[in-house]
Amino acid sequence: MRLANKVALVTGASAGLGLAIAQRFGTEGAHVYITGRRKDALDAAKASVEGRVTAVPADVTVSDELDRVVDAIRRESGHLDAVVANAGSIERTNFGAVTEEHFDRTFDVNARGALFTVQKTLPLLRAGSSIVLVGSVAAVKGDPGAGAYSAAKAAVRSYARTWAAEFGDRGLRVNVLSPGPVDTPIIDGQSGYFGLDPAALRKHMSTLVPMGRLGLPDEIANGALFLASDESSFMTGAELCIDGGMAQV
């Protein structure tokens, strides 16, 4: 029970990595607050998380909705011990087809959403708390069709360095969790760009990973648990890559 008596927020927890992280936090004893844009998916996610869980529908790109999340946490728990800024999305398009709308959507959820999630929850974080920003190996890889996404995730990596320096005197830690390709529904949405069906795309992505397979959501959740727990108490401003070696070799 590595998160016993702790209060955690996981954004974008309706499915995929966010859901796996919320489920792991629940089994480790945390009171988990989860957010997502679709109430039906969020309700289903809530039912799958053990222990004490509170679901608050919210879009991290909408300031008023983030305020509603913070208000709910303040009323019910009064504080936070961990924030996992996980909400994100990828929409692949070649450079010549990038539009202002595509750029704004990508940066709104991946970069802007992470910043204001942390800014608005900061007053609730107690000394010793952990902020986990979910990045991506795309931030350091040349990934065709993912220019805006990769740049947004590079901004997330930069946030961790800056905030680790800014928040250190408050006793807060800030780290980045950067997955490689993981077998989640987000892969399905990229199949059109590659001209492959989802199964073929998963096979193709596996060939890009030195370990020869996709990651599993639970493997990423293990990393999030480590960063959120006291086991990483002397770690801040760092990046934990769980990528099967994709960005390492």
Instruction: Please indicate, yes or no, if residue 2 is contained in any of the structural domains.
Output: no
Q: Can you tell me the mean pLDDT for 105-121?
A: 98
Q: What is the pLDDT of residues 52-76, one digit of tens each?
A: 999 999 999 999 999 999 999 999 9
The reply to whether 76 and 51 lie within a common domain is yes
Q: Is residue 9 within 8 Å of 69, Cβ to Cβ? A: yes
Residue 87's domain comprises 7-180+216-241
Instruction: Please indicate, yes or no, if residue 194 is contained in any of the structural domains.
Output: yes
Q: Which of 33, 149, 159, 193 is catalytic?
A: 149
Instruction: Please indicate, yes or no, if residue 248 is contained in any of the structural domains.
Output: no
Contacts (Cβ under 8 Å, ≥6 apart) of 153: 88, 110, 135, 136, 138, 139, 178
Asked if 149 is an active-site residue, the reply is yes
Q: How many domains does the chain have?
A: 2
| Residue 189 pLDDT greater than 90, yes or no | no
In residues, how long is the chain? Answer: 249
Q: Can you tell me the mean pLDDT for 32-46?
A: 96
The reply to whether 140 and 207 lie within a common domain is no
Lookup result for tokens 């009064």: 78
The reply to whether 208 and 224 lie within a common domain is no
CA-nearest of 203, 33, 7, 35 to 113 is: 35
Instruction: Please indicate, yes or no, if residue 143 is contained in any of the structural domains.
Output: yes
The reply to whether 196 and 96 lie within a common domain is no
**Cβ neighbours of 74 (radius 10 Å):** 14
Q: Please give the residue that has the higher pLDDT: either 6 or 142.
A: 6
Residue 234 tokens read as 């002397």
| Residue 204 pLDDT greater than 90, yes or no | yes
pLDDT on residue 73: 98
Q: Report the distance separating Cα 218 and Cα 17, nearest Å.
A: 8
Average pLDDT, the chain: 97
116, amino acid identity: F
% of the chain exceeding 70 in pLDDT: 100
The number of helices, as runs of H, and strands, as runs of E, in the chain is: 9, 7
Question: What CATH number is attached to the domain comprising 72?
Answer: 3.40.50.720
Q: Is residue 132 within 8 Å of 177, Cβ to Cβ? A: yes
The reply to whether 210 and 220 lie within a common domain is no
| Residue 216 pLDDT greater than 90, yes or no | yes
